[in-house]
Amino acid sequence: MDNKTELREFLTSRRAKIRPEDYGLPAGSSRRVPGLRREELAALAGVSVSWYTRLERGNAVGASDAVLDAIARTLRLGEIERRHLFDLTRGANNAGPKPVRRRSPAPAIRTTLQLVMDQMTEMPAVVQNGRGDILAMNALGKALFAGLIAGAAGASKIGALNHARYIHLDPGAQRFYVDWDQVASYSVAMLHVTAGRNPHDKDLTNLIGELATASEDFRVRWAAHDLHEHQSGVKRVHHDVVGDMDLIYETLSLPGESALSMYIYTAAPGSASADALRLLGDWHAPCPPEVAALPTTAKGGKEPGA
């Protein structure tokens, strides 16, 4: 990924979202573009117009943390957006991780972690990285995401299960996720954040290129640069076998596992969703051998750039 381009587009998109009147500035018809002008933002952040213009063009030389914080406050960035601004700036300065030029085989997740997941017989559990590569699942996780697995098998992508590819390219995802629009936005946000942290990762660049080439919706969402981070919540899904479920989820970071995350799903006790989840546990979805062997056959066990 080109972090200079990403930095320029991110700052431009955030500046366009700030209403001039929020800072007591006139919002007259003479404005050619929405949001603050560059000179207005520079004045509010306490930097020179020429310096901010260079920054917005991707030249981040001399951008101190204090100045970036001032710009983040002026743009009213949330914490995830602020971190993203710092990541993009480091990448534009070539001060981030060294480029990853070759794909290197990554170790499987710890055997003990897989054992713990396998003991979670009443809760689906999935481990994935920032690209959305699925590296491990327990039995109920495979049953829950049977559609994802079947779609990957049909597209000859079974050796590289990827949640983002499923969400944006598999029509079945829009049936599975009741709130697909929200899920798609979260997926793009995750890829943006991962790309900011790891701009030189070849697999990530290829994935984003694949999604952008195949999906106009993805291209529009990517260009918006809207970032979200949700570690917990409720996902509403429609499973072809057990019907509708409202699944509570939590995201657990896995220390020592190259920034992998485990997603755990459950349902409110006594609810219809809990009954459906129990029924799902009794159902054995057809599972290709490659997936049955997860995590040892999964690709990309490392977080991009790790």
What band does 193 get if pLDDT is binned at 50, 70 and 90?
very high
Mean pLDDT of all residues in 79-99: 80
Q: Please tell me the predicted confidence (pLDDT) of residue 125.
A: 97
Strands 125-128 and 260-266 come out as antiparallel
Gap between the Cα atoms of 135 and 155, Å rounded:
18
C-alpha–C-alpha distance, residues 59 and 40, integer Å: 19
Residue found by looking up tokens 């490659």 in the block? 290
What is the reported pLDDT for 244? Answer: 98
Per-residue model confidence as pLDDT tens digits over 295-306: 533 444 444 444
Residue ranges of domains in the chain = 3-92, 111-292
More confident residue, 178 or 28: 178
Contact, 71 vs 85, CB < 8 A? yes
For the ranges 29-33, 133-137, 188-192, 283-287, the lowest mean pLDDT is seen at 283-287
In this structure, are residues 6 and 88 in contact, taking their beta carbons and an 8 Å threshold? yes
SS (H, E, C) 170-221: CCHHHHHECCHHHHHHHHHHHHHHHHHHCCCCHHHHHHHHHHHHHCHHHHHH
pTM metric for this prediction? 0.84
Q: Is 256 exposed, middle or buried (0-12, 13-18, 19+ CB in 10 A)?
A: exposed
Predicted local distance difference test score (pLDDT) of residue 285: 58
The more confident residue out of 290 and 253 is 253
Of the candidate CATH numbers 3.90.920.10, 3.40.50.10470, 1.10.260.40, 3.40.640.10, the domain formed by 3-92 belongs to 1.10.260.40
Band (pLDDT 50/70/90 cuts) for residue 284 is: low
Architecture of domain 111-292: 2-Layer Sandwich (3.30)
What phi and psi, each to the nearest 5 degrees, are found at residue 215? -135, 115
Residues 124-148, mean pLDDT to the nearest whole number: 94
40-81 pLDDT, tens digit per residue, is 999 999 999 999 999 999 888 888 999 999 999 999 999 999
Q: What is the DSSP string of 253-294?
A: EETTSSSEEEEEEE--TTSHHHHHHHHHHH------HHHHTT
